[in-house]
Homo-oligomer: A and B are copies of this chain.
Amino acid sequence: MSSTNQNHKLCMIPGPVEFHEDVLDAMSTLSTSHVSPAFIPIFGESIELLRKVVLTAKGQPFVVAGSGTLGWDMVASNLVEPNEDVLVLNSGYFGDSFTTCLETYGGKVTQVKAPIGDKPSLQEISEMLKTKFFKVITITHVDTSTGVLSDVKSIAQRVKEQSPNTLVIVDGVCSVGVEEIRMDEWGLDLVMTASQKALGVPPGLSIVIASERAIETFKKRKTPVKSYYASWANWLPIMNAYEARKGAYFATPPVQLIYALNTSLKQITSVPLEKRFEQHKKVSKFVKDAIEELGLKMLPKSRDIAANGMTAVYYPESLTAVDLLPKVASNNIVIAGGLLKTIASKYFRIGHMGISVTEPDRKHIQDTVSALKISLKDLGYSANL
């Protein structure tokens, strides 16, 4: 399959995103031993480069074969012991699922759950932090189901003031590489993501970066970790070995995906991150302006809590998913349906992350907006067109 395939429909969903040709080439790297002198430095360097993406000097990256979801198991099984209290800030589907995962491993979850399109307020969080000690607080930075953006910096600051011993966990699956994240400066204890979003690598890697404090917390556990595959006891020696440019074995790493990750991380870190954040903000504004000009309503209740890597939009009342998505696809653009169960059939989602944003010459964004306009018009939707 060629990356210049003319029949290709652009994948403009909130992940998987479009991938750079060099990243896709790396995916077909010839078979290489996971402990060979060729591969070890590739893995080691990838671990180092991940620190740059979340701006941490000493955070400990984990790169493991799995979906992003596996990062929740890592948090729930390594950092929370049975019956310890966890505060989950819920701004959509992923807050619900993270809760289920934490409870599976014995965490006692309290949620601050926002109405659809909103996020928990600082005041609500403060009130809840007064009620008891939470070992861990989790923030979905961008809930991919709603496109709501949380203010991680302010929340982390509030937690430091009110409950400094609480670990601050950021689900950054739809934010790492898009939104500003300053792990050390903001005092975050863990940031997790997946390969297929703004990191620009095909799906199949769970990526977690843990602070020194998080690792210390893990090491001081009183009870054994209740997962095998997600246990840092198994993975920490492996990450340390590869970073020291030595091979080690717990489970065979996904060699080709790690070659692809290395390729993408080199691209990402070759440009100041600030520029990357700005580019995503600018493109997000362009898309959201276009949506508003079309007279369509977005899920997030206001622009200042809307994610910069995706846009979630209600269908016009006259249209449904059944109409719009195939029509847009017939114009060679794939966008996503809704994900939040209660309203899944009522909205759609557009992704704008990675090379579609940072390499404007590709015209992915313009093509997407054009396809949306044409499709709406073809379906008889006339407002503001």
- Residues of chain A having any CB pair with chain B under 8 Å: 1, 3, 5, 8-9, 11, 13, 15-19, 24-36, 38, 64-70, 72-73, 76, 100-101, 104-105, 194, 196, 202-204, 206, 224-231, 249-257, 334, 336-337, 339
Contacts and interface: CB of A to CB of B under 8 A. Distances in A.
B105 A202 contact: no
28 contacts: A5-B30, A11-B33, A13-B33, A17-B31, A19-B30, A24-B28, A25-B28, A27-B28, A28-B28, A33-B334, A65-B66, A66-B66, A67-B251, A67-B252, A67-B253, A67-B254, A69-B250, A72-B228, A72-B229, A73-B227, A73-B229, A100-B228, A101-B228, A104-B228, A194-B252, A196-B252, A227-B230, A249-B339
Contact of A104 (B34, B66, B227): B227
Contact of A33 (B16, B24, B104, B254): B16
A294 to B, nearest CB: 23
Contacts of A36: 9, 334
A5 B67 CA distance: 31
B16 A30 contact: no
Prevailing SS type, chain A contact patch: loop
Contact of A226 (B38, B64, B105, B204): B105
Number of copies: 2
A19 to B, nearest CB: 5
A19 B31 contact: yes
A374 B118 CA distance: 69
B336 A33 contact: yes
B28 A203 contact: no
B202 A104 contact: no
